[in-house]
Structure 1
Amino acid sequence: MTTADGSQRAQGWTAAVRQRLGLGRLLPLGGPADGAWISERAAVTVLRRAVGGRPGPVLLELRIDVADAGTAPAPQVTPPPSALPPGPLRMEASMAATTHQPLPAAAAALRAALLTAAAQRLGLVVDEVDVRVTQLLHSDTAPDRTGPPSAEVLPAEPEGAAGRAAAGVTGVATLTRALGPSVHTDEDHVRIELATDGGHRALDVVRAVRASVTQAVDGHPSVAVLVTAVTEEPGAQVPPTG
């Protein structure tokens, strides 16, 4: 192996690690039987969009984890590597508030908005939302509401019966390849990685994908789906890069 070949492999490995770390935790969507997960980075991006246009408190940091991993039920579908168990989730958020609203009311408003967005836009089961006020804003303050950039989407061309079936489901923006191939096949099991359309609830899309892939693949295997991104605009498509 030449020095150039070794350098290219090292760069590829580094890029893969960065991509994996950029996803954050792999959070359960729905319940133990749903076979659905979403990257923390994708979920946080959607929640920021949902609450970012509202007047009043500003969401700063947001972390999501399983509320109690020790009591979380076991998944009924083989999960992606390092995925969290499908138990109820806990959000920890920090916020900046104005002086025009009592702090408890501001925190309650942000908590309610996060819970609503998590359920209606994604399908996350959230038991707890801990909101802390870490900044006070004056009326002439214009804080940044955008948050960190979204994780990079690595589109993939649909291949094989499973890939074509998944890509054809309404609400799928593109297949992705953050953890490797977009379609990973083991004995009697298929894992699909994809990005969903922002105009559709992520859990509903995943359920439809699982049903479509199970019917399309010989032997009707079990199917798990990992959502690595949610497009910002309804109907938006991510062009494949090959």
Structure 2
Amino acid sequence: MNRPSTQIMNVPFSKWTFVQTLEHLSDMLEHASHRPHPYHLITANPEIVMKYQTDSELRTIMDEADLITPDGSGIVLASRWQGDPIAERVTGCDLLIGLLEQGNRQGWSFYFLGADEHTSQLAVDKITAQYSRVRIAGRHHGFFQAGEEDTIIADIAAAQPDVLVVALGAPAAEKWIYRHRAQLNAKMAFGVGGSLDIIAGKVKRAPLLWQRLHLEWLHRLLLQPSRWRRQLILPVFAMKTLITGRRVRS
């Protein structure tokens, strides 16, 4: 399947729809040959795009990623301003649910790294209850010390998961995957932000209407007012992409 893409502030985003993306990932997992490191999926929002501009390590990671999907309405809107529209958001949370559903049919194995111990256990318990044919290769909370890291990596490598789900926050998850990619022994790895919090019921996702109105960011801000500093990046991103869009169209 040829992958159409478009660049938003030099970040190459896939233009595949959610269904097309899930189909590609499913095919890759079913027919993956031996790779020296996992297939690295990154779901990037405007905040990550802005960090890409100044963080050389993150820039290298994203430039070498196997696939980058538009995790945020801001990315979709920016693509429209540039005249090369992306059809829809393809978020980490939606992809995780989609992969679990497909994995339930195919018997895939998942390893979950991240969140606090209670949330990690609760999320895995709920996944086990809902997706009975998904194999839980292992799990570990995300509040580990540096001295524990080698043991965790060895545990993941021994488990050989089809999918390694890393919930350490962005871009910490992406950096962790990249730094240890040669040791992980997983077919695929990706960061999922706060998706385990959502699955565990710790955080409520915005209603569909808010999502369709591109207001999921506002819903999260109302539930978590402490995020306001992070949200300040959104108008900066909007201004930069608007200016870029005008240049492209002129």
Q: TM-score under structure 1 normalisation?
A: 0.30
More strand by share: 1
More helix by share: 2
Q: Which has the larger radius of gyration?
A: 1
